[in-house]
């Protein structure tokens, strides 16, 4: 679908080598998030100066940042315009910055998708690999969609990596949640009433969230063990003072630093290797995820029942189905006096700093696409190739396109 001659709001659009551009400086719109318990905002006031320096205008829905600690007057003070209604922002904006939309906000995204117009762009977490059908609907609206989950793991993209920044917060908060709910204190203490032994924490998955969980638990004084199916994680775990548990399963490292999906036999052998360590732990924090697939089941109900009464399982993969057999997203399940907490969107529970980090990442990404207030998108750039999902009415990301074709074939 070409955008030649299409009018978008009060901007006349035209096609520039397949990239939508505008005759006037672009307007960036920030919406109040609608995902359940989502308290973050995609753009904080401190980031607006950089956008204005790039000759972009900014409009913000009233109250968009309030739950994260950023009030409307703070946006007004740095030159943003605050609009009372969501529809006004969608109408005025050429670019919508959101934390979660499309498949990443499946229960509430229909209204946002319906409001999109040809040539308008969305920069957000979109979950296109798990829910590709939403990206087809965005394409049908003629909008550009950049999915921040798909950023390539390259050095140049590190300052844009929202998954890593938010995972770090989730790992930190998971330990605080465990410390609050545990029947034990984390550190070893010598008291007049005797010696208190340190809590035993086991972290499954040593990616960004897992490493932050290890570091936080160690700072609180716990004895920490950790494991990962990627052999390269061993040095990182040990550098933080934790003991690495080698499961003897070989290396399951995938592309971009992620673990790859394995077969049922691998996960059965993994459970067998994990079982004795879990039984000896007071707190188990699971972080294992494979992009675009359900989280691997690593902790069985039987393994939970082997834990001591009062123990905890903190499942950071609950939104992807959970690493624990008993996990229910958003809920705490108690089995044999062991609590399994199904954490969803945990970084949103620390909304001030989570928003700051997300905003810096998203702003850096956006500015890489802009020159002098207009689009300057290089379709051959590795970052653009990795994140651009829809443009000119088409789903152009190869993986998402393949998933949609597969779904159509199955029907």
pLDDT tens readout for residues 293-341: 899 999 999 999 999 999 999 999 999 999 999 999 999 999 999 999 9
Q: Taking CA 282 as the corner, what is the angle to CA 323 and CA 186, rounded to the nearest 5 degrees? A: 120
Q: Is the pLDDT of residue 167 over 80?
A: yes
Cα Rg of the chain, angstroms: 23
Distance (Å, whole) CA 361 – CA 386: 16
pLDDT for 410: 57
Q: Is the dihedral of CA 213, 219, 224, 226 positive or negative?
A: positive
* Alpha-carbon dihedral sign for residues 180, 237, 148, 322: negative
Active site residues: 153, 158, 161, 164, 258
Query: Is residue 355 within 8 Å of 335, Cβ to Cβ?
Result: no
pLDDT band at 379 (very low <50, low <70, confident <90, very high): very high
Q: In the CATH scheme, what is the homologous superfamily, with its name and number, of domain 170-348?
A: NAD(P)-binding Rossmann-like Domain (3.40.50.720)
Report, as an integer, the average pLDDT of 350-358: 98
The model's pLDDT over 219-245, given as tens digits with 9 standing for 90+, comes to 999 999 999 988 889 999 999 999 999
| Identical fold between 7-150+373-395 and 170-348 | yes
**Angle (nearest 5°) at CA 370 between 364 and 374:** 150
Amino acid 201: pLDDT: 98
pLDDT attached to residue 310? 97
At 252, the pLDDT band (50, 70, 90 cuts) reads low
pLDDT at 264: 73
Distance CA 223, CA 187 (A): 8
pLDDT of residue 33: 98
* Per-residue pLDDT at 251: 60
Least confident of 74-88, 260-274, 334-348, 383-397: 260-274
Q: Is the dihedral of CA 66, 70, 74, 80 positive or negative?
A: negative
Whether 3 shows a pLDDT value over 50: the answer reads no
Q: Read off the pLDDT of residues 82-107 as tens digits, 9 standing for 90 and up.
A: 999 999 999 999 999 999 999 999 99
Q: How high does pLDDT run on average in the chain?
A: 90
- Provide the 3-class DSSP secondary structure of residue 31: coil
Residue 2 pLDDT class (50, 70, 90 cuts): very low
Q: Is the pLDDT of residue 20 over 90?
A: no
Q: Residue 407: pLDDT above 80?
A: no
Helices 351-367 and 162-181, interaxial angle, to 10°?
Answer: 170
β-pairing, 332-335 vs 338-342, is: antiparallel
- Dihedral Cα 329, 335, 339, 340, nearest 10 deg: -30
Query: Is there a contact between 184 and 321 (Cβ–Cβ < 8 Å)?
Result: no
Would you place residue 204 in the very low, low, confident or very high pLDDT band (cuts 50, 70, 90)? very high
Q: What percent of the chain has pLDDT over 90?
A: 81
pLDDT value, residue 290: 83
Dist CA 136 CA 151 (whole Å): 20
CA distances from 146 to 10, 96, 115, 366 (A): 23, 10, 17, 10
Provide the CATH number for the domain formed by 7-150+373-395 in this structure: 3.40.50.720
Residue-by-residue DSSP string for 285-351: EE----TTSPPP--B-HHHHHTSPTT-EEEETTGGGT-SBTT--TT-EEEETTEEEEE--SGGGGSH
Per-residue pLDDT tens over the stretch 106-127 = 999 999 999 999 999 999 999 9
* Mean pLDDT value of segment 185-207: 90
For the chain, the domains span 7-150+373-395, 170-348
Instruction: Name the more confident of 161 and 14.
Output: 161
Assess whether pLDDT exceeds 80 at residue 5: no
Q: What does the pLDDT read at residue 268?
A: 82
């Amino acid at each position: 679908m070409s955008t030649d001659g299409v009018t978008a709001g009060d901007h006349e659009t035209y096609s520039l080598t397949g990239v939508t551009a505008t005759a006037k400086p672009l307007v960036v719109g920030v919406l109040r998030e609608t995902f359940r318990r989502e308290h973050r905002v995609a753009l904080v006031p401190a980031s607006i100066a950089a956008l204005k320096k790039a000759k972009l205008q900014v409009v913000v829905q009233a109250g968009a940042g309030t739950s994260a600690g950023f009030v409307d007057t703070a946006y007004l003070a740095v030159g943003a315009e605050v609009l009372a209604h969501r529809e006004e922002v969608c109408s005025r904006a050429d670019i919508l910055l959101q934390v979660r939309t499309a498949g990443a906000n499946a229960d509430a995204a229909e209204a946002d998708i319906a409001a999109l117009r040809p040539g308008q762009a969305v920069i957000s977490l979109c979950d296109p690999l798990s829910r590709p059908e939403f990206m087809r609907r965005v394409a049908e609206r003629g909008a550009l969609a950049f999915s921040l989950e798909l950023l390539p793991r390259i050095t140049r993209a590190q300052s844009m990596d929202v998954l890593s920044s938010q995972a770090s917060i989730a790992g930190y908060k998971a330990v605080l949640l465990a410390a609050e709910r545990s029947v034990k204190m984390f550190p070893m203490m010598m008291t007049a009433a005797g010696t208190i032994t340190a809590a035993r924490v086991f972290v499954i998955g040593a990616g960004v969230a897992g490493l932050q969980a290890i570091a936080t638990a160690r700072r609180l004084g716990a004895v920490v063990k950790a494991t990962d199916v990627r052999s390269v994680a061993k040095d990182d775990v040990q550098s933080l003072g934790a003991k690495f548990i080698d499961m003897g399963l070989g290396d399951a490292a995938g592309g971009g630093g992620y673990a790859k999906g394995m077969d049922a036999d691998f996960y059965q052998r993994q459970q067998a290797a994990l079982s004795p360590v879990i039984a000896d732990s007071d707190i188990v924090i699971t972080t294992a995820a494979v992009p675009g697939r359900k989280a691997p089941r690593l902790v069985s109900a039987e393994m939970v029942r082997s834990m001591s009464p009062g123990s905890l399982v903190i499942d950071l993969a609950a939104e992807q189905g959970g690493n624990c057999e008993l996990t229910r997203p958003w809920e705490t399940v108690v089995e044999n006096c062991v609590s399994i907490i199904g954490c969803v969107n945990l970084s949103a529970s620390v909304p001030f700093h989570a928003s700051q980090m997300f905003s810096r990442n998203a702003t850096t990404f956006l500015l890489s696409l802009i020159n002098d207030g207009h689009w300057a998108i290089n379709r051959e750039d590795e970052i653009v190739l990795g994140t651009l999902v829809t443009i000119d009415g088409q789903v152009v990301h190869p993986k998402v396109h393949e998933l949609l074709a597969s779904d159509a074939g199955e029907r």
